Chains A and B, each alone.
Chain A
């Protein structure tokens, strides 16, 4: 058994509406090993969620469609499978947790029904056994009195409890891969800490790999081994968390790290921001997508799109000036464009 669980090659996803084509994901590639966690970070509209949902082929089609690339899961290309084969994989080998636990649970079925649904679908078990398994799962995710809770409806649960139920559903068939789309964004910090702790614990138990989509870098440092930084549908930097944190290379990653509020920021110092806003993906982007907001640009940035280069071992960057030969000098925080609010 190879150690490689998932390999995504040049994934492209487009949305068509009338005559306009939105290139939501534009050539994303990464590999994920067993028991490894990868974080996908970026602003809203950068293509994080589209990437994740297309791994399960859950992109609503039309208008969306996967226009290119390969998704190799244990060597099989998911894009070539029939719908039935795909259904066998969803919820069984790969499962997903969504951001909003209230809208992703069905309000007219009990929590027990919803956990048992995926167990009965994928495993040949009796109703009784499925119920046993459901109770066991609820216990595992730390819900007290699981026998009683099984017969309750989602509205009787708090946000954190609902997210636990979602995790119980997602893990009930021992998936090899768990895709978590902003699983803690809607939760309080204290509950977020509980859920992240739980995910780490369950990962050890089930040997699951996790793809964590988030815009909170704190969550990434907490649980991921690798990070993929996305911008306007492109991966612009990719490496281990330590590398990305200690030696970020892409100007966008710098901006992202700098706009975080950390303990080291002094009183009344202005926060560093990234000027401007992300590009409109309906239009053809010439050159580097980040160029209009970048403070290191030269002429080439507007005419030629940079390629992903392995600058160091396992550290990939897409920037004309961050290659094996060239290096950019990161400007001091204070000289960054700041207080752009007035521009």
Chain B
């Protein structure tokens, strides 16, 4: 088996909370990402799912060091990005690019599309003006736009087209890995399908690796090879998409899957309706973070934190129910 492209070990990010008393330090913090470990293999797509506030997006930002982690390591091609000196990090980051959720907010309205796509090349001083222009036109074609679009401004484009521009920006430096943070959530279904097809084609043509963050479970199943389910800053279950969808182990994963809307009016879906919403991350429940909402709660759940256990087929989950069997 080949070496993983990205190796994340025990990654943590605690955001301190402002104390209500001015100038006084608070010792409370939000544990946005709390001990996350995973590998990403070259050419694969790792999906990350979970409810809002579970730390998906924070994790994405930690992986390419947009925010410094509190502890843990992120190894890219064997080199730890955490604590790497700024110059070298900048060089390495060329290979790790991001596509953000909101296609409206992530493009500078005062730049033309050509300037936007060329920006990474300018920043990294790659090529002269002419070769940069050539590369921009090349990429416009790759993402399904036309050459004349280079002279236009973002407001002239629809949401789907803007997301194509964002993808072109991410591709311009020939990255190895692209972190997609909810890239299709803001789009209509028919447009969503177009963007997903584009991402799939690009993966095939350029041998890209994706970390694909989404709360749409249907999209994740379609896009991803492996899936990590997050809950309150922790990965509670991870495995191949087949394992996760056909043989979910963690009660939270089961509830998430049962909440997917029906596929036809004739479906009679058994629903596991979860109570309440995600608990306050400042004061997470003791023991298993999920126990207050879990339909299978046992005594041990409120006292002891379950560990991730291997259940075979590269499938891991953290639940006390699994330990019993």
Contact = CB atoms under 8 A, between A and B. Distances in A.
Interface in A226-250: 241-242, 245-246
B264 interface: yes
A262 B192 contact: no
B193 A272 contact: yes
Given A221-B265, A259-B189, A272-B193, 10 more contacts: A44-B159, A188-B215, A189-B217, A189-B256, A215-B188, A219-B261, A261-B219, A271-B222, A341-B144, A341-B194
A222 interface: yes
B277 A158 contact: yes
Nearest to A46: B188
Nearest to B143: A341
Interface residues of B, number: 44
Nearest to B50: A188
A192 B261 contact: yes
A271 B52 CA distance: 27
Nearest to B192: A259
Contact of A190 (B158, B218, B259): B259
Contacts of B143: 341
The residue in B143, B189, B221, B256 that gathers the most chain A C-beta atoms within 10 A of its C-beta is B189
Interface of A: 43-44, 144, 158-161, 188-194, 196-197, 215-219, 221-222, 241-242, 245-246, 255-256, 259-263, 265, 268, 270-274, 277, 338-343
B23 to A, nearest CB: 25
- Closest 7 A/B residue pairs (Cβ): A218-B261, A259-B193, A193-B259, A341-B144, A271-B193, A261-B218, A189-B259
A190 B190 contact: no
A274 B192 CA distance: 11
B261 A190 contact: no
Contact of B273 (A188, A193, A268): A193
Given A190-B256, A194-B273, A260-B189, A273 B217 contact: no
Contacts of B189: 43, 215-217, 256, 259-260
Nearest to A187: B52
A263 B261 contact: no
Contacts of B192: 259
A36 to B, nearest CB: 14
B155 to A, nearest CB: 15
A277 B157 CA distance: 11
Given A190-B274, A215-B189, A242 B266 contact: yes
A261 B222 contact: yes
A151 B267 CA distance: 41
Contact of A245 (B190, B217, B264): B264
A194 B219 contact: no
B196 interface: yes
Interface stretch (B32-40, B60-68, B126-134, B197-205): B197-205
B260 interface: yes
A20 to B, nearest CB: 17
Given A221-B262, A241-B265, A189 B215 contact: yes
Contacts, number: 118
B255 A190 contact: yes
A144 B188 CA distance: 35
B324 interface: no
Contacts of A256: 189-190
The residue in B144, B191, B197 that gathers the most chain A C-beta atoms within 10 A of its C-beta is B197
Contact of A43 (B188, B196, B219, B264): B188
Contact of B265 (A245, A260, A268, A339): A245
A193 B52 CA distance: 15
B44 interface: no
Contacts of B160: 277
B85 interface: no
The residue in B196, B258, B264, B274 that gathers the most chain A C-beta atoms within 10 A of its C-beta is B264
B79 to A, nearest CB: 32
Interface in B248-271: 255-256, 258-267, 271
B1 to A, nearest CB: 21
A265 B222 contact: yes
B243 interface: no
A266 B258 CA distance: 21
The residue in A158, A189, A196, A341 that gathers the most chain B C-beta atoms within 10 A of its C-beta is A341
Contact of B194 (A194, A218, A340): A340
B51 interface: yes
B277 A192 contact: no
Contacts of A274: 190
Nearest to A259: B193
Nearest to A244: B265
A222 B216 CA distance: 17
Given A242-B266, A261-B222, A218 B197 contact: no
Given A188-B215, A189-B215, A242-B265, A218 B274 contact: no
A158 B217 CA distance: 21
Contacts of A340: 144, 194
A261 B217 CA distance: 10
A191 B293 CA distance: 13
26 contacts: A43-B190, A44-B188, A188-B51, A190-B255, A190-B274, A192-B259, A215-B189, A216-B189, A218-B262, A218-B263, A221-B261, A221-B267, A245-B265, A255-B190, A256-B190, A260-B218, A263-B263, A270-B200, A271-B196, A271-B197, A273-B194, A338-B197, A340-B144, A341-B143, A341-B198, A341-B201
Contacts of A255: 190
The residue in B218, B265, B274 that gathers the most chain A C-beta atoms within 10 A of its C-beta is B265
A160 B293 CA distance: 15
